Structure 1
Amino acid sequence: MNNSKTSAIRLSLSHRALNLSAPGTSSMRSKANALKEKGIKVINFAAGELSFDACQEMKAGAIQAIEGARNRYTPPIGLPQLREKLAQQVSQRCGVSYAADEVAVTAGAKQALYNAAMVLLNPGDEVIVATPYWETFPTQILLAGGIPVLVDTRADDYRLTCKAVERALTPRTKMIVINTPNNPTGTVYQREQLLGIAQLAFDHQLWVVFDECYRKLVREPHEHHNIVSLFPALKQQTILVDSFSKSQAVTGWRIGYACAPAHVIAAMHNLQGHTTSNPSSLSQYAALNTLTADSPDFARKVNTFLDQQLVAACTCLGYVDGITCAPPEGAFYLFVDVSRHLGRYYLGTKIRDVDHLADLLLTEAHIAVVPGSGCGDPNSIRISYAVERAELIEGLTRFGQFMSEVVAD
C-alpha cells in the first residue's frame, strides 16, 4: 500500500463549525487592513475600541507583574485577591453584597458570556435578545444549544420594554439578555424599563444576563443603572458581565469578569478549567492595580473626549440627507439607519443591501463601517466615533460626500 501520495480527501467540519461565520467587525477590519497594506488611507469606524493608550494604572500593574516574574498559572477563574477586590467594588457600586466565590475572572467579557450560556442553557431553551444585538449574543446561545428569540426594539427607541419581553415569553423561555449601554446602538436603558423587566424575570424565574461593559462610558446627562442595584431580589437570577477592555482601553489584554450565584461561578470554574484555564496573569495583576488605585481620572478624560466627539460627529452627520440614528447615549457608537439609500445607485452601481453599501464605502470612500446585517438590522450601519478627531471629521466628510452621490436611478 502506497501512503506517499497526498490525499485528496477533505474531511468534513462539524455542523457547529459550518454554522459559524466570522464576526462582522473582524471581517471589516481584515478588509480595511488589506487596503492599508496597499498604501490607501482608510478611516476605520469599525473598531470597537478607544483610540487612547491604556490607562496608566493598568500599564503600571502589568510592568510590575513582569518585573515580579508573575508568569505562572493562576486559579482558572482568577487570582483570589483580584476576585475579592472585584467583589468589594461590585458590592459597593450595587449596594448588594457579593463575595469572592461569586466572581469569575475571564479572558474578556466575551468568555464570561460564553461561560454563562454553556453552564445555564440546555438544548431548546429560549433566550430573549433585543434586536439590534451584538452579534456574539445569538451565536453563543446557538453554540450552547439554545434558541435566540429576537425582539425588534426599533419602535421603542432601541430598548427592550417590559411589554415586548412579556409578548416573547413562552414555556421554554430560560433567559433574558440585556446590554446597556448598548452595542451597537449606543442606547442606555432607563431605570423604569429595567425595573419592569426585573420584576418580570423574577416572577417567571428567568435568568438575566446583564452586560454592562460600557457602563463607565455614558454621555451626559444620561445615567447607567445596574439591574441588581435596582432590584436586589434578582441577584440570585442574574449574571453581571463587565470588562476592563473598553473603559481602560485594553481590548487586546483580554480581561473581564462575571458576578453570579456561587454555584454558577463554580460551574464556570469547571468549564474554564477545561477550555482556556486562567486569563493572562499579567492582565490580572494590571486589573488588580487599577482597582486598588480606583482613580476616576482616566474615565473622566475618556468621557470628556467622547462627549466632544459625539458633538462633532452629529454636526457632520447633520449635513447628510436621508439618515437617522438610534439615541447615542452611551458607549461610542452611532447606529445609522441608511434604509432610504438601499436599492438606489452610486455612480451607476445599484446598492443591493447594507453589506454591499459597507463594501462600497470601504472601496470607494475608504471608510470602514460595520453593516447592521450582522446585528440583526439590515437597514443600518455602525460607526464608532472613538477615533482621533481629525480622522472622525475626515471620515464622516467622506461618508457625506459618498451619500450625496447616491441617487434614485
Structure 2
Amino acid sequence: MNNSEPSAVSLPLSQRAQRLSAPGTSSMRSKANALKEAGVNVVNFAAGELSFDACPIMKAAAADALATARNRYTPPIGLPQLRHALAQQVTQRCAVNYAADEIAVTAGAKQALYNAAMVLLNPGDEVIVAVPYWETFPTQIQLAGGVPVYVDTAADDYRLTCAAVQKALTPRTRMIVINTPNNPTGTVYQREELLGIARLAFAHRLWVVFDECYRKLVRAPHEHHNIVSLFAPLKHQTVLVDSFSKSHAVTGWRVGYACAPAPVIAAMHNLQGHTTSNPSSLSQYAALGSLMADAPHFTRQINAFLDQQLLAACTCLGYVDGIRCAPPEGAFYLFIDVSRKLGGRYLGTVIRDVDHLADLLLTEAHIAVVPGSGCGDGNSIRISYAVEREALVEGLTRFARFMSEIVAH
C-alpha cells in the first residue's frame, strides 16, 4: 500500500490575474528597498510622496481618535460628519452645490478611481486616456472590462486637447479621464482647455473622471482649475477624485474621496461594502480634523519647499547633456526625455530601452527612478524631487555622472 503524499498540483490563476503586473513605482521601490537592506546607499526618486512629517492637525486628530477609542466600523463610504464636511468644502471651492450623499470616502484616491471604473463601465466601453498616464488608470479600466483608448499628448505639451478627444471618439466611448496636475508630467491644464473638454463631454453624454489629487501642489504662476467649477452642468456626468495623501503628507494613511451624482455614490457604497468596507476610522477622523481646522500654512510650507527643490533639481540637470525636461507646473515630478541615450553604451553595455536604463541607474548609480514605459512613454523616466535636499543633490549628481558616461550610438 502506497502511503506517500500525492504530488502537489499547480492550479492556474485567473486570466484576470495573469494579465496583471505590479505597478512600476512599487516594483522599483521594492528593488531599491532590497538594495538598501543589503547596505547599499540608494537614493529613491521612485516614490510618489513628500519627505515631510504628516500634517500636525491630522496627527493630533488621529491621536485624539485613538485616545478616545474611536476604533469601530464606520459606514462603508465614510463617517457621516466627514462626508458632510467634504461636501461643504467641495461646494465652497467649486461654487457648485454638493450634498453628503454625493460623497464617498475611500481608502485613498486609488480606490475612488477603481470604484468609478467598476460602477460606470460595461465590457467593451471605451475610455479616453492621455499618454503619458498614471499606470493605474488603464489597468483599472481593463479590470472593469473597459478598453483604454490612448491619446498621445507629447506634441501638445502633454495636454489632452479638445481636438484630440474629438478625434478619438467612437460610438463606444463612455468616459474621459483627466488628471491635473498631472502625474507623471507635472502639466497643469488651463481654464480654456478644460472648458472645451467639458462642453464636448457634456454634448456627447460622456462620464468624466477628474483626478485632482495634486491640486494644492501647483507652481506659480500656474493655477489649478476644477472642471465642474468651470462648467456646472457637467456635475451630473463627473466623478471628482481627491485625496489627503499628497497635500497633507499622509500617503500611508489611505484616505481619499469621490464626489459624484448620488446614484453613483450609492453604487460605490454597495461595491465598497463588499471589498474593503470602510477606510481606516483613525484616518477618517484625522481627515475630519484637517477640514474642521484647515492649515493653509502647512500647504504653503510644502509649496515653498517644492519651489526650492525644483530650482535645485533644474540646476543639477542643466549640466546633463542629451536629455530634455520641461519644468513641471504642478505635482512634484520631473519627466525627463532620455531618448537620445537609448541605444548608447554604458561601460560597453548597450542600453536596450528605458527599462534597461532604469535598472542600470539602480544597480550602477544606486538611484531609483520610474521608467516611462509604465506610463505609455518609452522615451522618458520620472523622478520625484520631493525627497530631502541632500538626497536630491546627491542623487542627481550620480544621475549626471552616469549619463555622462553613456557613449552615443
| The two structures share one fold, judged by TM-score above 0.5 | yes
Amino acid across the alignment from 2:103? V
Amino acid across the alignment from 1:106? T
1:310-321 equivalences under 5 Å are 310-321=310-321
User: What secondary structure does 1:216 align onto?
Assistant: coil
1:396 match:
396
Matched, 1:215 2:244: no
1:9 deviates by 1.1
Runs of 4+ that moved beyond 2 A? 1-4
1:105-120 equivalences under 5 Å are 105-120=105-120
Amino acid across the alignment from 2:65? A
2:205 match:
205
Contact kept? 1:124, 1:146, Cα under 8 Å: yes
1:271-290 equivalences under 5 Å are 271-290=271-290
User: What secondary structure does 1:324 align onto?
Assistant: coil
In 1, Cα distance between the equivalents of 2:143 and 2:248? 30
1:22-101 equivalences under 5 Å are 22-101=22-101
1:360 match:
360
User: What secondary structure does 1:89 align onto?
Assistant: helix
2:237 match:
237
2:408 match:
408
1:326 deviates by 3.9
Q: Give a deviation string over 1:127-184, Cα, whole Å, max 9, x none.
A: 0000000000000000000000000000000010000000000000000000000001
The share of aligned pairs that are identical, in percent, is 83
Number of aligned residue pairs:
409
Contact kept? 1:187, 1:326, Cα under 8 Å: no
Matched, 1:102 2:102: yes
Structure 2 length-normalised TM = 0.99
Q: Give a deviation string over 1:18-71, Cα, whole Å, max 9, x none.
A: 000000000000100111111110000000000001010110011001011011
1:8 deviates by 2.5
1:246 match:
246
1:408 deviates by 2.0
In 1, Cα distance between the equivalents of 2:327 and 2:162? 19
In 1, Cα distance between the equivalents of 2:4 and 2:268? 46
Amino acid across the alignment from 2:69? A
Structure 2 unaligned blocks of 5 or more: none
Contact kept? 1:346, 1:406, Cα under 8 Å: yes
In 1, Cα distance between the equivalents of 2:9 and 2:407? 50
Matched, 1:143 2:143: yes
User: What secondary structure does 2:47 align onto?
Assistant: coil
In 2, Cα distance between the equivalents of 1:187 and 1:327? 9
Contact kept? 1:158, 1:326, Cα under 8 Å: no
The alignment's C-alpha RMSD in Å is 1.0
1:14 deviates by 0.4
Contact kept? 1:25, 1:47, Cα under 8 Å: yes
Q: Give a deviation string over 1:213-261, Cα, whole Å, max 9, x none.
A: 0000001111000000000010000000000001000000000000000
Contact kept? 1:335, 1:381, Cα under 8 Å: yes
Structure 1 length-normalised TM = 0.99
1:6 deviates by 4.9
1:3 deviates by 7.7
